Structure formats: C-alpha cells, structure tokens
C-alpha cells in the first residue's frame, strides 16, 4: 500500500511553495544596533565583522546609506570617553547617546525610528549595570539614576527607550518619570527576559562594558530557568511595558514561544553579538554559506514568535540587496 497523504505534493512547485509559506522575514522586522563613541572617526570592531564604533559624523553618513537600503529602526549604544564608579556622565545632554539622538532626528526626522538602550555598564569604571556596593548592584539607587537617564534621552528626542540592566521595577519607574514629565507617548521596550549569557562576549568587546570583576548573575537571569521568564514578563506587563523582549534569541527560542503563546503584546528578541559573530567566523573560514545560515537563523526567531528582531544582520540585508 502506497501513502495517500503525501505532503511532498505541496512542496514540489516553487510558486505554490512560496504561497503557503507560514513565516516570512522582512527587513522591516529588524532593528539595527549602532555603537557610537566619543573618539573621532571610526574604529573597527574585530570580534564583530562589518561593525564599527562610529563618531557622530560617520554615523550620519552610515545611517543615510542604511536608510536608503531599507533599514529604518536603530538602537543606540554609547561609548563615553570618561567612566567613573557612578556613571556620572551618562545623563548629560551633551553625552554621546543624547548627541547622537539629536543628530539623527535632526537629519532624518520621520524617516528614522531611534531607540536608546538604557544601561550603565558602558559608563561605569567597574563595568556593572548600576551602582555597586560590596560587589552587589543596588537596585533602587540604580532606578533613580535610570529615571534621570531616561529623561535625558527623552529631552534629546528619542522615539523609544529599552532598559537592559535587569533592575526590578525598572519599567514602572521609567514609566512614571516619563509620564510626569510630559513624555507619556514614549514607549518602553522591556528587556523582559534577559539571561546572563556568554553570547554577549563580542558586544562587551565592542562597547568596552565587560565587568572588571565578577559577573552579572546577580541581576540577569539564569539560563536554566523557563518559568521565571514568565514571572519577569508578568511584572513588565503589570508595570505598563509596551513591547516585550527575550535576549539572547537563538538559544532561547523556547522562551520566545512560551511568551508568544501567553501574551498579546508585541514581542521582540535580541539576536545578540555572539550569535552573529559565530556565523561570520564560520563563513570566513568557508565552512558555511553566510547569507543562507543567517537568514535561516533569523527565520527561526520569527517562527518561534518574534515580531521584531534586534540584529546586527540588518546591515548585511543592505549589502545583500534585501529591501523588503
């Protein structure tokens, strides 16, 4: 007896195959991270091929090309010249991220959507994500500083704020600071379930934000935990978050799907530096087809349930000529 149900019948013709594709990836799904530094000129990031630390002038030229290529959403990370224990420079209106926001909005107006990552690890001399006391990052003191930082981003004209420090209560504290200062229309994307991951290695190299001692296990999530991610998301939702996020993406596709099944909010995932650089490195060795593997990995995030993907690959979409 031969099979009467044959799934291959719908696979053979490429026109039919295309029309019954369940998930599609588009450049509109992507948000590109940019590293902006206070030094002059550009600095190649060796651990993240095709990415650079940019100064404001080169950033504007770069972004102009990217916008022409179809990238519309960017998330900014700042690398300041001066660091200290209290990240005192972070909230200055002449700070690097604030100046980058002002320049981008002035030059590209409504053709660009600018998100700012909100964290202190790039600004602290010890490299931790907030105020440190006896090796512990103090939660509520860091919330106070975060409110100030969020307001400086808002004053600069940011479109959305994404707090990545994993402090408890961050969404409600930013929401109230923004609301009482007439910024109730600025959305917050929570790094809702952010794991303490070794996949952040190349980013810390890029941003100069590795902790001088210790690690981030005291505030970021344990990679072994799944139920706890739902508690994190519950809290962000209760605190009024606008978009949820899971980070990293590839090793956490189950978490993305769990959240998608339970919540109706838009969901993002962060396809982090390590996930990007391992594909780049293998491709440079000629071991894999870079574009095919990159697109397949991004598609897996869409299939898992992500609506938006923060990804370094957005830049390659432009060189590959993928404009939709």
| Residues labelled catalytic | 194, 247
Q: How far is the CB of 178 from ligand PBG (least distance, A)?
A: 20
Region binding ligand PBG by CB under 6 A among candidate stretches 49-57, 93-101, 114-122, 222-230: 114-122
The verdict on 118 binding ligand PBG (CB under 6 A) reads no
Q: Which of 34, 54, 32, 35 is nearest to 43 (CA)?
A: 54
The span from the CA of 67 to the CA of 288, in Å, is: 29
Among 183, 195, 200, 252, binds ligand PBG (CB under 6 A): 200
Q: How far is the CB of 162 from ligand PBG (least distance, A)?
A: 9
3-state secondary structure 250-314: HHHHHHHHHHHHHCCCCEEEEECHHHHHHHHHHHHCCCCCHHHHHHHHHHHHHHHCCCEEEECCH
The verdict on 232 binding ligand PBG (CB under 6 A) reads no
The span from the CA of 289 to the CA of 154, in Å, is: 42
Distance of CA 249 to the CA centre of its chain: 10
Q: Does residue 240 contact residue 171 with C-beta atoms inside 8 Å?
A: yes
Task: Please list the helix, strand and coil fractions of the chain in percent, rounded to the nearest 5, in that order.
Answer: 45, 15, 40
Among 37, 54, 80, 117, binds ligand PBG (CB under 6 A): 117
Which positions from 257 to 296 touch ligand PBG by CB under 6 A, shown as an x/- string?
---------------xx-----------------------
The nearer residue to ligand PBG, 52 or 200, going by C-beta atoms, is 200
Tell me the site size for ligand PBG, rule CB under 6 A.
Answer: 12
The verdict on 204 binding ligand PBG (CB under 6 A) reads yes
Task: Tell me which residues touch ligand PBG (CB under 6 A).
Answer: 117, 119, 121, 129, 164-165, 200, 203-204, 216, 272-273
């Amino acid at each position: 007896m031969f099979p009467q149900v044959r799934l291959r019948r719908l696979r053979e013709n490429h026109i039919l195959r295309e029309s019954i594709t369940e998930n599609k990836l588009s450049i509109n799904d992507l948000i590109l991270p940019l590293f902006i530094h206070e030094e002059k000129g550009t600095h190649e990031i060796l651990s993240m091929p095709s990415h650079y630390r940019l100064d404001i002038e080169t950033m504007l030229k770069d972004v102009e090309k990217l916008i022409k290529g179809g990238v519309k959403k960017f998330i900014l990370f700042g690398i300041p010249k001066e660091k200290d224990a209290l990240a005192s420079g972070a909230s200055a209106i002449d700070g690097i991220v604030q100046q980058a926001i002002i320049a981008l909005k002035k030059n590209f107006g409504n053709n660009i959507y600018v998100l700012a990552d909100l964290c202190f690890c790039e600004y602290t001399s010890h490299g931790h994500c907030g105020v440190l006391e006896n090796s512990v990052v103090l939660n509520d003191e860091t919330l106070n500083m975060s409110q100030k930082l969020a307001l400086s981003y808002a004053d600069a004209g940011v479109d959305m704020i994404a707090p990545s420090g994993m402090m408890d209560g961050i969404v409600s504290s930013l929401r109230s600071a923004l609301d009482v200062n007439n910024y109730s229309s600025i959305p917050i994307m929570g790094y809702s379930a952010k794991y303490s991951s070794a996949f952040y290695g190349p980013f810390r190299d890029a941003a100069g934000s590795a902790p001088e001692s210790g690690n981030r296990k005291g505030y970021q999530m344990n990679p072994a935990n799944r139920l706890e991610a739902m508690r994190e998301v519950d809290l962000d939702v209760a605190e009024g978050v606008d978009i949820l996020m899971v980070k990293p993406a590839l090793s956490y596709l189950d978490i993305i799907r769990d959240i998608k099944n339970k919540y109706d909010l838009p969901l993002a995932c962060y396809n982090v530096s390590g996930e990007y650089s391992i594909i780049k490195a293998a491709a440079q060795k000629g071991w894999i087809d870079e574009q095919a593997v990159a697109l397949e990995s991004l598609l897996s995030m869409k299939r898992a349930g992500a609506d938006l993907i923060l990804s370094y690959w957005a830049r390659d979409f432009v060189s590959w000529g993928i404009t939709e």
